Amino acid sequence: MSNEYLRNFQFESFWVVVDVLAPIVLSNVKGSIIEIGMGNSTTMLLKHANKYNRILMSCDTSDKVINKVGKNIEKYGLNNDKHFIYQTKSWYFIDQLKEMKIEDKNSLDYLPAIVFIDGNHYYDTVKVEIDYFLSILQQNAMIFMHDTYPQKHYYDSKIRLGRKCDTYKVRLYLESRKDLFTFTWPYTAAYCGLTMVMKKDPTRIIGEDNG
């Protein structure tokens, strides 16, 4: 796949790691793309959803953000009747997903191949999000999380403004789990850390635990 295809929009350098890896994941895993926290990521993910004929479900609470994303979708001709936008908090979005029985292994159209989490960055909220999506994550599907490895000066500035940004604690939790592969990129994604997570496959040789 050409670099021209992967980087043909001006905003994609911000999410270049996800942009490059998404086609690889979608070529190997059936299912949807789910996004918590909309923005430039939405247009990038929608490009791949269109190419691979996948459902994209996006969640955000902000009218302003959703309207801006909508204008970008129009601008780049990415409209898709398989793109569903939920203006709500992530916990309610997750409740709606549960009502759709998205955890049903027979619902491969909706079961996620890629999950992108870039919501409110509070540990308590992100922990709920990550635990739910891990519980339904297919083998070889991937979760991407933003703001997991912030530079100290950035983190301190947020604290001074009274805006706690402790998603990094979820990264520590994920790194402690022996059933997961976890890797964090320090660059791209505004240099705030982009963590990717995949379940280990028990049918493969992993190490001493499974021989």
The pLDDT of residue 9: 43
The pLDDT of residue 188: 83
The pLDDT of residue 5: 38
Class of domain 31-205 as given by CATH: alpha beta
- CA 1 from centroid of its chain's CA atoms: 22
Tell me the range of 133-147, 162-176, 186-200 where mean pLDDT is highest. Answer: 133-147
19-25 contact pairs (CB < 8 A, 24+): 19/44, 19/48, 21/142, 21/196, 22/48, 22/114, 23/48, 23/51, 23/52, 25/113, 25/114, 25/140, 25/141, 25/142
Which band of pLDDT confidence, cut at 50, 70 and 90, is reported for residue 4?
very low
Give the pTM: 0.89
Tokens of 205: 């040789």
User: Is 191 in contact with 151 (CB distance < 8 Å)?
Assistant: yes
User: Is 205 in contact with 211 (CB distance < 8 Å)?
Assistant: yes
Domain ranges within the chain, ordered by starting residue: 31-205
Tokens of 71: 């204008």
The pLDDT of residue 8: 41
User: Is 128 in contact with 94 (CB distance < 8 Å)?
Assistant: yes
Note the helical H segments in the chain: 3-6, 16-28, 40-51, 63-75, 90-99, 123-136, 152-160, 168-176
Token pair 């890629």: residue: 114
User: Is 1 in contact with 25 (CB distance < 8 Å)?
Assistant: no
What pairing do the DSSP bridges indicate for beta strands 142-146 and 56-60?
A: unpaired
The pLDDT of residue 158: 66
Average pLDDT of the residues in 128-141:
96
